[in-house]
Structure 1
């Protein structure tokens, strides 16, 4: 029961406990200050000497031992076990909003010889008092659980409408937008960094999660852990698995399946699905940490004796360090026999310089690129209408299944319907995305053709002026297979990619005259030479597919 203090030579010592539900109330409101003021006035009126105040800004639904302020108070009482303290708090709801925790906390204070007093409730050590106290605690628990249910219901409804309601993932922030309210928007420049990382992993530019991690650690604007600039591998995995970056929302724990959201996507849904397929498949071995700008050809040049990738190292000389490439395969005849870095890299650079076709071909090639683009655009208009028809059909199927769920009472049948609806929702997202991007804009023509023509004209210039990642991309686009290097004879004949093979044939006039029937009429080149349009069309289609995009991203 409460004890009204009297003025005496020895004042009763008091501890004040005050709590708000979240940090926002602490920083923007006056909940803690008003509670402390009321408790101090209560102590003053009863002649108590307030010795310490213990605040908390954590929700009351959790175990009281998870509250820092409450743990500190109990530890303080343990250290002062020779004194009898009064613990003062504002309201029973500030004490505990859970019946079990309330009674447990009362026992914790009793074991420490501290009595509890509340401004809005009188504790009595009687059967009737204990009954009323238990009812008050149960009422607080009921209110808390009802509030939680209402919050979840509102959040679930908002997710069902296509809005993200959780803590914003890295790369996004919340802003209020007319007609939407609080919605995710890209947080630049972090959003662009994440977009590049996700697309790079989907396209194979980053062959493992380790390479994505290293890429993020190399970006100053990307938030990192600690002063060392470390990005935890679990953060990388979480980013790769999040559908929110594809513009989707879902809440499996609340029964909300994947659906298109209203926020701006950083990547396409097809890119997201490629990432998930790579995560579920057999991932490549992690990239070694010592592959760096000192040795851009490491891993791309093979030892001609054993066919394994060469490694690299810095060897210490008398006065300085010297860079070398070498084979480290145990059974290889060239094991640990160093090759000067200049021999390896200058030879590869000479191969790249040789991939420079005749300049007169590029006017013709650019015209064919443009023709192919226009043909694809015309085909895309028809494909877009077909996709829109499929999208409408999918929506009707979903509506029909929802009607069947309403009329069914079998849990197994309902579960089967729900699984099918989830599959159709995913298909709906795919169709909507494909229909939206089916017809490319006129602006994208120059965005694709210019990088393609620049690269085909001289991959060496891009390699020479590019960073480490771009150099690796140029090697992958220029050579169909890794280069083989013989320690005694140098580089073997390089296997170039298809576009360079075709242009090399044109340059040497090997594809001179129009041949097979059924092929479109040839086009004339200087010198009276005619080339097949079909071959250059294949080159154009190949590069419009993915070559320019890799160069731009690299």
Structure 2
């Protein structure tokens, strides 16, 4: 490009268009640097800059994805009588797509506006136009090559078992962009997966527990409270089981990161999710949820009508008092919450087994635990054999598909059947949480819980009280609002109680 004397332009007004993509925001490509070079070129050619359009951090693939470029073209059409030139730092600042570049060039020419590159030859002669088009084509080619490299690089990273996006809750990226355990959330997420595997809590309850644990997601730098759909998506993510999945590549590969859970536990949770409604109708309002002031609500029943008792506050002269009452309009009276609590504690202390009874019971628990554990191990061995058989079948299926014996349609159909059977086998393998329990800790917990049921009740949370009552009194406890509690004990616990009283 000749940098000597040039004739002054007929239309002396000009605009500058600047663009830098996010990955190019370094000194040599900064907008301020580009603008300085463009202004010097305008001054050298005799143009007066009347407006500067700055496109910051945009890597859009089309013109519509660059609002400043769209506005600049509109400005050119509106001011075509006085506007003589659009000055850019480099041709690829307009577009790396040849078709887009030619479209922009055509718009400017039709409005008799020159396109001037501060670092490349531009003009209106056939030679200049050809050279510009070649350079624009090269810009597109360069962009396509870099995009292909990026895609290939991401695919290669995926195939090698490395994540290509932000890891899920419980993990974080280290300095080398490798997913590692996040010390703030790892143990909490392990607990969440264990709770889901047990299968006695709804997604609403799990979500509430996670929020109470202090778990959260981050969006645009802000902490966001977890919601049921978010938690459900987390629990569907195979990343936790050490597997990377991709909707883009339609593949699964073994990840290099440390799995949080086994594949068996993952499939067990999937079975729990598939077999349960997302929302638990039993706890769909704040009023029915656990309330520390009224732990016996819905647990104790009215002896008059058989319905679960409810609770509320009664106004006194100076303050409010908590009361339990029947949830229907039967003739039963009401009772102060404190009084019913005391009666429940007395009942639980009365039926607390002796030390000898507890020893006999824990001995039975250990024997039953060992028997069930042996059955679990046997079932796991059977499941392992089935999993290996299915994997061998899949290998043969892949080979025959590659040889052309099976069409892609047959391959996909048979592979889906094998995957379904594999999932069942993994669920069968994980169909027990016994191995997670330390039998010594379990027996210690039983002894502490049963030694004084009244004390256990007083220090328990509402969910723990519900669990305690449902295990000892599966058919519930009725109350006549005259001081009489009528419990119907679990047959096993009734035997302990009888042994206790006879001894």
Q: With the length of structure 1 as denominator, give the TM-score of the two structures.
A: 0.70
Question: Does 1:362 find its partner at 2:361?
Answer: no
Question: Which residues in structure 2 correspond to 1:182-261 (within 5 Å)?
Answer: 182-207=177-202, 209-220=203-214, 222-223=216-217, 230-257=225-252, 260-261=254-255
**1:445 and 2:439 matched:** yes
Q: Distance in 2 between matches of 1:85 and 1:333?
A: 91
Partner of 1:173: 172
Which range is displaced more, 93-102 or 405-414? 93-102
Inter-partner Cα distance in structure 1 for 2:34 and 2:200: 62
Shift of 1:401: 1.2
Answering whether residue 45 of structure 2 is matched by residue 18 of structure 1, we say no
Within 5 Å, give how 1:474-513 maps onto structure 2.
474-487=468-481, 490-496=484-490, 499-509=492-502
Q: Give the direction of change, closer, same or farther, for the CA distance of 1:37–1:358 in structure 2 (3 Å limit).
A: same
- Is the contact made by 2:19 and 2:58 (CA closer than 8 Å) also made in structure 1? no
Q: Deviations over 1:273-326 (max 9, x none)?
A: 344334334522144224332333334344445544444333444432222334
Report the Cα offset of residue 84 of structure 1: 4.4
Alpha carbon RMSD of aligned pairs, Å? 4.7
Secondary structure at the aligned position of 1:414 is classed as helix
Query: What SS does the aligned partner of 1:60 have?
Result: coil
Shift of 1:229: 6.6
Aligned to 2:54: 54
Q: Is the 8 A contact 1:20 1:57 kept in 2?
A: yes
Equivalent-residue separation in structure 1 for 2:425 and 2:438 (angstroms):
26
Instruction: Answer whether contact 2:22 2:59 (CA < 8 A) is retained.
Output: yes
Q: CA offsets, 1:122-166, max 9 Å, x none?
A: 555678877766665565555545544444444445444544332
Corresponding position of 2:336: 340
- Separation (CA, whole Å) in 1 of partners of 2:78 and 2:317: 65
Q: Give secondary structure in 2 for the equivalent of 1:492.
A: strand
Distance 2:473 2:435 in 1: 29
Q: What's the secondary structure of 1:314's corresponding residue?
A: strand
1:227-274 deviation per Cα after TM superposition (whole angstroms, max 9, x unaligned): 9974344323322332223333212331214x6544333344444334
**Partner of 2:438: helix, strand, or coil?**
helix
Question: Alpha-carbon deviation of 1:92?
Answer: 3.8
* 1:31-430 alignment runs, 5 A limit: 32-33=29-30, 36-47=32-43, 49=49, 52=52, 54-61=54-61, 63-66=62-65, 84=83, 88-98=87-97, 102=101, 116-122=115-121, 124=123, 140-141=139-140, 143-175=142-174, 182-207=177-202, 209-220=203-214, 222-223=216-217, 230-257=225-252, 260-283=254-277, 284-285=280-281, 286-290=283-287, 291=289, 292-329=291-328, 332-333=329-330, 338-372=334-368, 386=382, 388-408=384-404, 410-423=407-420, 426=423
Secondary structure class of the residue paired with 1:360: helix
Aligned length: 490
> Are residues 128 and 480 of structure 1, via their aligned partners in 2, closer, same or farther at CA, if it must alter by over 3 Å?
farther
**1:503–1:315 distance in 2 versus 1, CA, 3 Å:** same
Q: Is 2:398–2:411's contact at 8 Å kept on the other side of the alignment? A: no
CA distance in 1, matches of 2:388, 2:148: 35
* 1:76 Cα offset (Å): 9.2
Alpha carbons 2:304, 2:330 under 8 Å: kept: yes
Secondary structure at the aligned position of 1:402 is classed as helix
**3-state DSSP of counterpart to 1:54:** strand
Q: Residues of 2 paired with 1:133 and 1:215: CA distance?
A: 62
Deviations 1:461-483 (A, max 9, x none): 34322444444444444442444
Deviation at 1:357, TM superposition (A): 0.9
For 1:237 and 1:54, locate their aligned partners in 2 and report how far apart those are by CA, in whole Å. Answer: 42
Shift of 1:65: 4.1
C-alpha distance in structure 2 between counterparts of 1:75 and 1:483, whole Å: 78
Per-residue CA deviation, residues 498-527 of structure 1 (Å, 9 max, x unaligned), is: 653342243234xxxxxxxxxxxxxxxxx7
Which deviates more from structure 2 when the two are superposed, residues 133-142 or residues 397-406?
Answer: 133-142
Provide the rounded CA distance (Å) in 1 between the counterparts of 2:63 and 2:334: 65
